[in-house]
Amino acid sequence: MAYILRFAHIPLMVKKLIKPKGIFEPSKHKTLDKQGLPWSHAIIAEGKLLFIAGQSPRGPEGNILYEGNIVKQTELALSNLKKVVESARGSIKNVVCTIWFTTSIEKFYSEGASGVRRKFFKKPYPTSTLVEVKRFASPESMVEVQAFAVLEK
* % of the chain at pLDDT higher than 90: 64
Instruction: Give residues with Cβ within 8 angstroms of 6, minimum separation 6.
Output: 12
Q: What is the CATH number of the domain that holds 84?
A: 3.30.1330.40
Q: Are strands 95-102 and 10-18 parallel, antiparallel or unpaired?
A: unpaired
Does residue 37 have a pLDDT over 80? no
Q: Which of 151, 85, 96, 83 is nearest to 124 (CA)?
A: 96
Q: In whole angstroms, give the CA distance from residue 119 to residue 106.
A: 20
Q: Do residues 104 and 142 lie in contact, with contact meaning Cβ atoms separated by under 8 Å?
A: yes
Which domain, by its residues, includes 32? 2-151
| pLDDT confidence bin for 46, thresholds 50/70/90 | confident
**H or E stretch including 98?**
strand 95-102
pLDDT mean over 118-129: 92
Q: In whole angstroms, give the CA distance from residue 76 to residue 70.
A: 10
pTM of the predicted model as reported, rounded to 2 decimal places: 0.78
Q: What is the pLDDT of residue 122?
A: 92
Q: What is the pLDDT of residue 10?
A: 35
In the chain, how many domains are there?
Answer: 1
Q: Do residues 105 and 99 lie in contact, with contact meaning Cβ atoms separated by under 8 Å?
A: no
